[in-house]
């Protein structure tokens, strides 16, 4: 895990300049509501907030602006996102530390920075606007591009590898479980048949095969026929649900008492995981019939949102990508086993090279 150096400002008209402008145009989903939920925990000097999915840095920028006493640890598995966000956050200097890692490694990242507990964690799940807009990354089904879909392009497995090597049964399982695709078996069989003629390399051919194997009635009413397959492939390539299953408990584990977590999900599979983990934390585990609630059985968190909040109509109109957002948040009210809370920040020297 290394902190990328903030690059110099790009020359006007260069490719890098175009990338810089792209992140400036980015509109973070439910930005103000996320700040509203996390800011009460970030009022003390030295309080630390973790943006576990940095993306292009819009939420991080808003948090650092609204919470001048706070410092930021920002994590992303995508080196390109870290580079672009680094430019955006450069004016905050040492208040922002950027780390290349997968967000389920939050405890290890903080340990390397000499931080024990934090006051806030933000997670903005799924594919980022940057990844969708960079057509050569292969996340979008609307343009012909290499079948990549890796959030970290240093990772080994790509979408093309999955399409060209997985069995029909495994492809069916992925499309059914991760894409909730009704025609998973039919599409998987067609993929296996077609790859025997020619391996898959780009997205247009895959989109055509999917369209040919989704009934016309469904194509007319169910949105783009490739949407669910592309979601399933992306989740498998990046192991998104497995990472999320580890990441939410890990984030709760590093929260100090009084610390807050906010998680935005964009599809039902993610939201179910977040809902379940938070529900476990707000529930008492006191055995039935016990006359008093022992501290070790008391709820460790309280919910800050009633169910999952969604963007208002204005935001959904201005930013169509916000439409499927579900935001859940909670506050830590007790340490593990009912013990006292740990300090929000330790005085240990960083063990790694990630500190600013």
Domain ranges in the chain are 15-130+241-338, 135-238
pLDDT band at 14 (very low <50, low <70, confident <90, very high): very low
Whether residue 162 has pLDDT greater than 60 = yes
Q: Could you check whether 15-130+241-338 and 135-238 share the same CATH topology?
A: no
Which tens digit of pLDDT belongs to each residue from 87-123?
Answer: 999 999 999 999 999 999 999 999 999 999 999 999 9
131 is an annotated ligand-binding site residue? yes
Average the pLDDT over 28-36 and give the result.
94
CATH architecture assigned to 15-130+241-338 = 3-Layer(aba) Sandwich (3.40)
Q: How many CB atoms are closer than 10 A to CB 200?
A: 18
| Domain spanning 135-238, CATH class | mainly alpha
Closest CA to 46 of 111, 120, 104: 120
This prediction's pTM: 0.83
347 is an annotated ligand-binding site residue? no
58 is an annotated ligand-binding site residue? yes
The string over 147-186, giving b where at least 16 C-beta atoms fall within 10 Å of a residue's C-beta and e elsewhere, is bbbbbbeeeeebbbbbbbebeeeebbbbbbebbebebbbb
Whether residue 24 has pLDDT greater than 80 = no
pLDDT confidence of residue 18 = 40
76 is an annotated ligand-binding site residue? yes
Per the model's pLDDT, the better-predicted residue between 284 and 172 turns out to be 172
231 is an annotated ligand-binding site residue? no
pLDDT confidence of residue 353 = 35
133 is an annotated ligand-binding site residue? no
57 is an annotated ligand-binding site residue? yes
């Amino acid at each position: 895990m290394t902190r990328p150096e903030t690059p110099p400002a790009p020359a006007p008209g260069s490719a890098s300049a175009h990338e810089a402008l792209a992140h400036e145009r980015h509109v973070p989903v439910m930005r103000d509501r996320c700040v509203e939920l996390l800011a009460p925990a970030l009022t003390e000097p030295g309080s630390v907030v973790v943006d576990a999915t940095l993306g292009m840095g819009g939420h991080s920028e808003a948090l650092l602006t609204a919470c001048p006493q706070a410092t930021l640890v920002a994590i992303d598995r995508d080196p390109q996102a870290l580079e672009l966000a680094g430019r955006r956050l450069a004016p905050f200097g040492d208040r922002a530390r950027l780390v290349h890692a997968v967000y389920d490694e939050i405890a290890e990242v903080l340990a390397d920075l000499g931080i024990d507990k934090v006051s806030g964690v933000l997670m903005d799940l799924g594919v980022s606007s940057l990844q969708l807009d960079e057509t050569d990354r292969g996340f979008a089904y609307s343009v012909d591009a290499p079948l990549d879909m890796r959030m970290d392009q240093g990772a080994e497995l790509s979408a093309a590898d999955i399409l060209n090597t997985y069995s029909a049964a495994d492809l069916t399982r992925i499309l059914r479980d991760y894409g909730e695709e009704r025609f998973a078996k039919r599409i998987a069989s067609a993929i296996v048949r077609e790859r025997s003629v020619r391996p898959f390399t780009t997205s247009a051919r895959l989109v055509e095969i999917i369209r040919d194997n989704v009934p016309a009635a469904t194509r007319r009413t169910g949105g783009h026929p490739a949407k669910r397959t592309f979601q399933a492939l992306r989740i498998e390539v990046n192991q998104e649900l497995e990472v999320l299953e580890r990441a939410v408990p890990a984030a709760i584990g590093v929260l100090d008492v009084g610390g807050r977590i906010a998680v935005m999900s964009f599809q039902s599979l993610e939201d179910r995981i977040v809902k379940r983990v938070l529900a476990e934390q707000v529930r008492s585990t006191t055995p039935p019939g016990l006359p008093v609630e022992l501290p070790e059985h008391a709820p460790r968190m309280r919910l800050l949102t009633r169910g999952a909040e969604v963007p208002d109509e204005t935001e959904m109109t201005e930013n169509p990508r916000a439409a499927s957002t579900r935001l859940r948040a909670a506050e830590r009210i007790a340490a593990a086993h009912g013990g006292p809370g740990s300090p929000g920040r330790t005085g240990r020297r960083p063990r790694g090279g990630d500190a600013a």
